[in-house]
Amino acid sequence: MDVALAATDRTVTVDGLKIRYMEQGTGVPAVLLHGNSLGSSCDVFRRNLGPLAAGGIRPIAFDLPGFGQTAEGPSFDNSFRKKILLKFMDALGLNRAALIGHSAAGNIAVSAGLDQPDRVSHVMILGTGSLLPPLETSGAKVGGNEAAAQARLEERMVKQEPSLADTRALLEANLFHHELITDEELALRHKNSVGDAFKYFAARHAAAKGESENKGKGGTPLWQRMTELKMPLRLIFGKQDRARAAERAALLHQTYPQLDLHMAEGCKHLVPWDAADLFHKLAIPFITGKA
């Protein structure tokens, strides 16, 4: 098996949920949060743990409720996941840690940083489309929903468990470098896409659809609040990511030029895979404070 897939699983119980996680190293603690896609889990970061640990970080990745080997909780919303995140940190004895959020989990990282600044030392965002401003085209907003590009593909899958070919198709839709999809990676991703993980995905999908149909306006979008963060913030987006992410990232930089924003060439949505080297290069000095 690939060395990147050889990390040891651990478990801890938080609010009655048995949470699976992986960690490596003894350096500055950083909690890595995966996204919402079908099959996503802390395994997204397996290839990143070793390099981050070697650079002086103690990376800790865990399965959010309803993903991987962690059962779904009583709520699907990010406020519940943020609460679980902080209690997970408590269970591991972490008074303070950096947060690294991929995809939709970037919202959890930013929200936690805004609400609990004493608990969050740094925030790093990897490809969170909903933290980019929408584009206006013929009076319609483009790119406001960061999952829009793969929604149609997931819509076809939500009624039945994906086949191995379906799982590969989802990975290929999110990856620029398809050669990274080894047989081991594909099997692991598929394992996290079926059984209870698929049941939880279908339930989340139905709940999100209902919320979207009944959602009213109100509140300031998180992308407009990132400059309020008290701790250092760094963002990485893939130049080839979906929903015109490169254009929207340029608009974000134009709107808030003080943001520490980086673009990864040859990178789609799975930034921890496509842009692993850049991610490590930017994360290590950012979080440890060492060049």
pTM value is 0.91
User: Degrees (nearest 5) of the Cα angle 37, 71, 26?
Assistant: 80
Closest CA to 245 of 165, 138, 144, 113: 144
pLDDT of residue 154: 61
pLDDT of residue 23: 96
Tokens 């690294």 sit on residue:
100
**Rounded to the nearest 5°, which phi and psi values hold at 223?**
-65, -25
Instruction: With beta carbons less than 8 A apart as the criterion, state whether 60 and 33 touch.
Output: no
**For the segment 235-264, what is each residue's pLDDT rounded down to a tens digit?**
999 999 999 999 999 999 999 999 999 999
**Distance of alpha carbon 231 from alpha carbon 119, whole angstroms:** 10
Tokens 């003080």 sit on residue:
258
- Where in the sequence is the domain holding 179, given as residue range(s)? 3-214+223-288
Residues 6+ apart with CB under 8 A from 52: 24, 25, 30, 59, 280, 283, 284
**For the segment 116-175, what is each residue's pLDDT rounded down to a tens digit?**
999 999 999 999 999 999 997 654 555 544 445 455 666 666 778 999 999 999 999 999
Least trusted range by pLDDT, from 179-193, 209-223, 235-249:
209-223
pLDDT of residue 73: 83
**For the segment 268-286, what is each residue's pLDDT rounded down to a tens digit?**
999 999 999 999 999 999 9
**For the segment 20-79, what is each residue's pLDDT rounded down to a tens digit?**
999 999 999 999 999 999 999 999 999 999 999 999 999 999 999 999 999 888 777 778
The CATH number for 139's domain is 3.40.50.1820
pLDDT of residue 214: 42
Closest CA to 58 of 105, 106, 93: 93
Residues 6+ apart with CB under 8 A from 85: 31, 33, 99, 108, 112
Q: How far is CA 175 from CA 17, 213, 268, in A?
A: 31, 30, 5
**Distance of alpha carbon 249 from alpha carbon 134, whole angstroms:** 10
Domain count, the chain: 1
**Rounded to the nearest 5°, which phi and psi values hold at 171?**
-65, -45
Mean pLDDT value across residues 194-216 = 73
Task: Indicate the DSSP class of residue 123.
Answer: E
Share of the chain above pLDDT 90, in %: 76
pLDDT of residue 155: 67
pLDDT of residue 74: 77
Closest CA to 29 of 121, 127, 126: 121
Q: Rounded mean pLDDT of the chain? A: 89
**For the segment 95-127, what is each residue's pLDDT rounded down to a tens digit?**
999 999 999 999 999 999 999 999 999 999 999
pLDDT of residue 193: 95
Displacement of CA 236 from its chain's centroid (Å): 12
pLDDT of residue 104: 94
